[in-house]
Amino acid sequence: MTDAASPAPAEQRRFHLGWREITLALLIVFLAYQVVIPFMMIIWTSLKTARPGDPEFLSLTVTFANYARALGSASFWRTTGNTLSFAFASTLLAFVMGAFLAWVVERTNTPLGRFIGFVLIARIVIPGVLIVISWILIASPNIGLFNQLMRPITGIRNVVNIYSFWGMVWVQALEMVPLAYLLLSAAFQAMDPRLEEASTMTGAGNWRTLRRISLPLALPAVGAALLLLFIIAIETFEVPLLMGTRAGIRVYTTEIFYDTSRTPIDWGLAATYAMALCAVAIVLLFVYFRLIRFGERYQTITGKDYRPRRIDLGRWKYLTCAAALVFVFLITGVPFLMMLYASLLPFYQAPSLAAFESMSLANYLSVFDSAKTITPMINSTILGPVVATAVIFIVAAIAYFVQKTQVPGRKVLDFLSFAPIAIPSVVLGATFFWFYLLVPLPVIGTLTIIGLAYLTKYMPVALRFVSASMMQIHSELDEAAQVAGVSWARNFFKVVLPLLRPGLLAAWFWVMVHAYRELTIALMLARSQNRTAAVVIFDLWEEGSFLLLSAFGVMMFLLLAALSTIAWLIGRRFGVQEQY
């Protein structure tokens, strides 16, 4: 029973080779393969002028020629400037809107709060590429609905041009608002209202309480949210690809895409841009984690009678409700309605009586007609659930080893499984492609290569969901099973996994939806046979088939909504409805 005696059994266990040790070893090998190799590929390619696959590529001579070329060119610095200013502006806009919505829903008595929150979060089932396209259909020069409608009124040919810096910022910000909302509403919920009440009781008015107590306390959470949004805006691909090219605004991600998709492929330059992108992401992530840890220090004991304080807005609540509904309409309503409207038209036109009379389901029928659209839809429907299932098993095992055991090597697991958060999608897609050019495994052009890249991509976030759940499982439950003489593998499947169910379901749901709608990685790895639904949308866009695209988009949206509903129903059956 003494402390001195306890290390002894651990010592004995270390030399025992059981399922537990084999699983741990397999996990480390898997993570090294999935995580370490992509990082090495970026670094190595950036130091070579030869392309992957050349014999010269594997020689040990390195060169800084790519860096010299990039850093010496004006376009690198222009791209850097574009990337940072675009990310900065869209982060601020998304933050302001997200903060307003989170405040309205969490801290005021504005009516329809729950509805507003639900519709915002439901937005995640709409693929990012569709959001971009719907805004182009609204506000592009000439064909944009808004421009067409305003022309007779204002007499100006094009009131707005979405193909511009501010157009890009607008769409990117709207795309990020649901995340900003989620991050900030969590921060608002975590704040103990007693801290503000204590200030009031000392005689402080609302203004002093806000300035001296509420704001300083919210600062770490606000800073962390801003940083995360900024990282996402820097790594974003859809908006720069579809809008930035015509606007003449290039950012890191589009540079990498163009360097790898034109002939001759400029591997070295792409890798250099990838290094720049990773470097920025790593620095920002470092600051992000510092802020998170700083914020945790602020967490205090909370009383049992914890009730968040809501501000009574009086008659103003109708104004905040109206403003929130307008935002929610712009964020979730516009992309959906736009797709629905365009999908029913025989040719693209502004709404009019004639337009509504000409509506038909013809576009939907042509979606079913073509293997070009059906196969990718099937591909995505396979990829989403399969990747989600694989990820949650891997992540559950990782979370178990990291949190519930003292095995040496668990820290390595923790670090490796979280490291991919620093690799932007466009870079991840490129490195997987480069690696399988080197390795003679026949995966290029298959769903397998996309699936493997997705495993790496979605592990970090899934791990956070599952870790949160794992933390709530007391080690004693696991120990009780061990004392009862149950084998490790049996215990893992019969005790640990069932207890993790809420976290696993949340992670599965998140990965499934994101893998289904993902564009960047799929596009980087796309060949003729492994195109996914999001890639087809991009293809149709390039061809100019807006209407077919819209019908396809609506179907993709409905399928995803159906999958989500099924997942939600299953979750509810297992009693996890309170965690959404």
Partner 1 sequence: MIRVDGLTKTFTANKEPVAAVDNVDFEVADGEMVTLLGPSGCGKTTTLRCVAGLERPDGGRVVIGNETMVDVAAGVFVPPNRRKLGMVFQSYAIWPHMTVLENVAYALEGQRTAKAERHRLAMTALDTVKLAHLADRPAPRLSGGQQQRVAIARALVGRPQVLLFDEPLSNLDARLRMEMRGELRRIQREIGLSSIYVTHDQSEALAVSDWIVVMKDGRIIERGRPLDIYRYPRHVFTAQFLGTTNLVPGTVDATDDSGGRLRVTTALGPIIGIDRSGALRPGAKVKVSIRPEDLSAQAVDGLANTFDGKLTNALFAGVAVEAEVSVGGTTLACLLNRESDLTPGRAISLRARPDACLILPEESA
Please report, as ranges, the residues that interact with partner 1 according to CB under 8 A. Answer: 192, 194-195, 197-205, 208, 212-213, 216-217, 297-306
CA 538 to CA 441: how far, in whole Å?
A: 28
User: Which residue reads 């009780």 in tokens?
Assistant: 480
CA 43 to CA 24: how far, in whole Å?
A: 28
- SS3 category, 345: coil
Can you spell out the DSSP letters for 19-44?
Answer: HHHHHHHHHHHHHIIIIIHHHHHHHH
CA 457 to CA 448: how far, in whole Å?
A: 14
Q: C-beta of 108: minimal distance to partner 1 in Å?
A: 17
Q: C-beta of 250: minimal distance to partner 1 in Å?
A: 42
Helix (H) or strand (E) holding 232: helix 215-235
CA 218 to CA 473: how far, in whole Å?
A: 29
Nearer to partner 1, 217 or 563 (CB): 217
Nearer to partner 1, 296 or 542 (CB): 296
CA 418 to CA 35: how far, in whole Å?
A: 9
Q: C-beta of 268: minimal distance to partner 1 in Å?
A: 48
Nearer to partner 1, 108 or 147 (CB): 108
Nearer to partner 1, 198 or 558 (CB): 198
473 contacts: CB under 8 Å, gap ≥ 6: 404, 496, 499, 500
- The token pair at 416 is 């490796």
Paired residues of 54 in beta bridges = 52
CA 536 to CA 539: how far, in whole Å?
A: 5
CB 281 within 8 A of CB 235: yes
What amino acid occupies position 106?
E
Q: C-beta of 156: minimal distance to partner 1 in Å?
A: 51
User: Which residue reads 């992309």 in tokens?
Assistant: 335
Q: C-beta of 396: minimal distance to partner 1 in Å?
A: 33
CA 219 to CA 472: how far, in whole Å?
A: 27
Q: C-beta of 186: minimal distance to partner 1 in Å?
A: 18
Q: C-beta of 305: minimal distance to partner 1 in Å?
A: 6
Nearer to partner 1, 1 or 301 (CB): 301
Is the omega angle on the peptide bond into residue 335 within 30 degrees of 0, that is, cis? Answer: no
Nearer to partner 1, 216 or 351 (CB): 216
Residue 38: closest CA among 25, 52, 26: 52
CA 321 to CA 445: how far, in whole Å?
A: 49
Helix (H) or strand (E) holding 160: none
Q: C-beta of 286: minimal distance to partner 1 in Å?
A: 22
Nearer to partner 1, 262 or 304 (CB): 304
Q: C-beta of 216: minimal distance to partner 1 in Å?
A: 5
Q: C-beta of 220: minimal distance to partner 1 in Å?
A: 9
Residue 273: closest CA among 420, 418, 426, 422: 426
Backbone phi and psi for residue 108, each to the nearest 5 degrees, phi listed first: -130, 170
Paired residues of 283 in beta bridges = none
CA 38 to CA 64: how far, in whole Å?
A: 20
How long a stretch of residues is the chain? 580
Nearer to partner 1, 6 or 302 (CB): 302
Nearer to partner 1, 191 or 430 (CB): 191
Q: C-beta of 464: minimal distance to partner 1 in Å?
A: 24
Q: What is the CA radius of gyration of the chain?
A: 26
Nearer to partner 1, 221 or 466 (CB): 221
Nearer to partner 1, 216 or 498 (CB): 216
Nearer to partner 1, 196 or 259 (CB): 196
CA angle 508, 398, 473 (to 5 degrees): 80
Distances (CA, A) of 209 to 234, 302, 343: 35, 19, 52
Nearer to partner 1, 309 or 474 (CB): 309
Q: C-beta of 317: minimal distance to partner 1 in Å?
A: 16
Q: C-beta of 312: minimal distance to partner 1 in Å?
A: 9
- SS3 category, 346: coil
Residue 218: closest CA among 316, 295, 131: 295
CB 463 within 8 A of CB 395: yes
Q: C-beta of 506: minimal distance to partner 1 in Å?
A: 27
